[in-house]
Chains A and B, each alone.
Chain A
Amino acid sequence: MIRKELMTVVRQREIAYRIFELTARGSIVGDMEPGQFVHIRPADSFEPLLRRPISIAAIEPEKKEFTMLYRTEGRGTEVLAEKKSGDALDVLGPLGNGFPVHEAKRKALLVGGGIGVPPLYELARQLSTLGVETVHVLGFDSADSVFYESEFSAIGKTYVATVDGTRGTAGFVTHVLEGIPDDFDTYYSCGPAPMLKAVEQLYPGKTGYLSYEQRMGCGIGACFACVCKSNDARDYVKVCSDGPVFPAGVVAG
């Protein structure tokens, strides 16, 4: 059930270069699943006008709190970064279809790139609770933009890659993936489309779920801003309402 709620900011802090961690409290937390996203109105004004889609990084239903991580990229996220404890947060959500957590049986591989890393955190927590071993491969630009390495490490084996080589493996997540065993039954990935394509091509025989990033308008499937060509019977899919998580192979391109 999609709802619009004025939630309350519990806390916000910058945890890495331009990466903010915001926790908010409200009743729609009870409906959230890993891999879904929320659509945030940064300010009650015409500037910025549109909502900002941000993935859900952690869900605490008993406290009615959720955490989202985002990178400041422009006017909307800069305004959002100014929110303080006690401020109201206009949230539409939860939106989209999340990761199917029950698909993984014994061991799962989680691959995230940059701001695609956050939704994998709640997924890792839930898989771990279900008794599934998780291996995490996280890619970032540079050491100063790495976040949640210790949080992921507390759940399972975690590898970090940075493009400039200032932390972990130098290069992309694929450089790490090529050097680790593929003894997992299911993989989950979120990040830029070229990364998702590379991950998909590495594991053609495995069950995989990919979460896509795309410029969005409404977030509920009405505006047709975030369409992608599809490889299945559908002419196209909308990332916001048909996704953002799709089984590997569905999104063309």
Chain B
Amino acid sequence: MSRLAVKLPGLDLKNPIMPASGCFGFGREFANLYDLSQLGAIMIKATTREARFGNPTPRVAETASGMLNAIGLQNPGLEKVLTEELPFLEQFDVPIIANVAGSQMEDYIEVAEVISRAPNVRAVELNISCPNVKEGGIAFGTDPDTAKALTEAVKAVSAVPVYVKLSPNVTDIVQIAEAVEAGGADGLTMINTLLGMRLDHKTGKPILANRTGGLSGPAVKPVALRMVYEVRKRTVLPIIGMGGISAPEDVIDFLSAGADAVAVGTANFINPFICPELIQNLPGKLDELGAESVSDLTGRSHLYELTDHRA
């Protein structure tokens, strides 16, 4: 087995690097730039039962070391994803993780049942954490009982392992992680974006037409890292970590905190070649750290037991 390879439920990853959902479309734009077979996996853009246009523009706003987005789950709908987008991706030797979203539990169940049977879909990522839609989305990810029930329902119909994408917009993310684990989740992906705002200084008007949006990019990395670290302590589920990854050092940090693999989001917008660059630079980073393989680093931060000296 290659030193970069990682084996997770449903996923034989050549390496631990994959583009995060919503930051890579359905791969077409990036397929013009490099061979997508290099990637560990691809998390495709959230798919809903019906096509969605998404929110009005402006939909993005830059912030200090980050960006806000309120795209609103724009996608062509389940039928077109099945007949046009997933078949396009079949030419590449790369597992697809299908991000599934909806307004009601029935939507999630229907989309997951169908999309999990597409030939190149090796895992489903339950999007219970989108902050930019009126109904559904984050509502399923902030209440442990709802999150558990949805996980159970989707697990019952999915033909492939189910990963649940957690929202950071909760008081205790561990509680949600434990709930979806009890619901039968095969893995966790974390974190989705943090709710935020940006205002026009002169008028006070929110820049985003949706008023609020999800914060991503380097600004959120410390929060994401802390959450992966906390969740790792309390669950044995595999974790695909994400939040502001743009350099090999960031990948190492997430692995150290307890992630088994990582996803790259906003950085794809700044450097569309970031994923292959990270994959190429990772072996050198392992050498520097004296690590034989990626898994040698996973969870190593937990070796530093906290001696509780706090009041």
Contacts and interface: CB of A to CB of B under 8 A. Distances in A.
Nearest to B72: A224
Contacts of B211: none
Given A221-B25, A222-B23, A225-B71, A49 B57 contact: no
Contact of A222 (B62, B66, B268): B268
Most buried by A among B30, B51, B62, B74: B62
Contact of B270 (A47, A49, A224, A229): A49
Contacts, number: 90
Contacts of B24: 222
B272 A49 contact: no
A51 B60 CA distance: 13
Given A217-B269, A221-B29, A49 B62 contact: yes
Interface residues of B, number: 34
Contact of B269 (A2, A214, A215, A223): A223
B169 to A, nearest CB: 21
Nearest to B61: A215
Contact of A227 (B57, B62, B266): B57
B88 interface: no
Interface in B48-62: 51, 53-54, 57-60, 62
B99 interface: no
Contacts of B272: 2, 4, 92, 218, 220, 222
B74 A224 contact: yes
A107 to B, nearest CB: 35
The bracket for how many chain A residues form the interface is 20 to 34
Given A217-B60, A222-B29, A224-B71, A49 B23 contact: no
B2 interface: no
A229 B74 CA distance: 13
A220 B34 CA distance: 13
Nearest to A228: B57
B120 to A, nearest CB: 19
Contacts of A220: 29-30, 33, 272
Interface of B: 23-25, 28-30, 32-33, 51, 53-54, 57-60, 62, 64-67, 69, 71, 74, 76, 217-219, 266, 268-273
6 nearest A-B pairs in the assembled complex, by CB-CB distance: A218-B269, A46-B65, A225-B60, A222-B25, A221-B29, A222-B29
13 contacts: A2-B32, A76-B62, A215-B59, A218-B268, A218-B269, A220-B33, A222-B269, A223-B60, A224-B74, A225-B69, A227-B74, A228-B57, A235-B76
